[in-house]
Amino acid sequence: MSWLDLLATGSSLVTAGLGLVVAGLAFRGYRRNDSPTMRALAIGVFAIAVVPSLLASVIGPFVALSDAQALLGVTLSHTLGLLAIYRTFDTG
């Protein structure tokens, strides 16, 4: 494994960890205030920061996803996460 592979894996793990912390704080805010907005924010952050790392590092190799399949999963996760965060904005 090259230093670039280690750097990519390490940064992915840091991103996933930080995403878990932020999503956890948002979820705690949802439970404390019963706020659907905070729930959507928690889901969005989780889908943007944690799910792609899991797909690329854990699930992909475990179920032998091709690069294209893993990239599709990451892209769909990002899209769903952004839609969830978009829902948190009060447009009315």
Residue-level pLDDT at 83: 96
**pLDDT tens digits for the chain (92 residues)?**
799 988 988 898 999 999 999 999 999 999 999 999 999 999 999 999 999 999 888 888 889 989 899 999 999 999 999 999 999 997 65
Residue-level pLDDT at 39: 96
The encoded tokens of residue 34 equal: 């019963």
Residue-level pLDDT at 91: 63
Q: Which residues contact 52 (CB under 8 A, 6 or more apart)?
A: 73, 74, 77, 78
Q: Where are the domains of the chain?
A: 3-87
Residue-level pLDDT at 56: 86
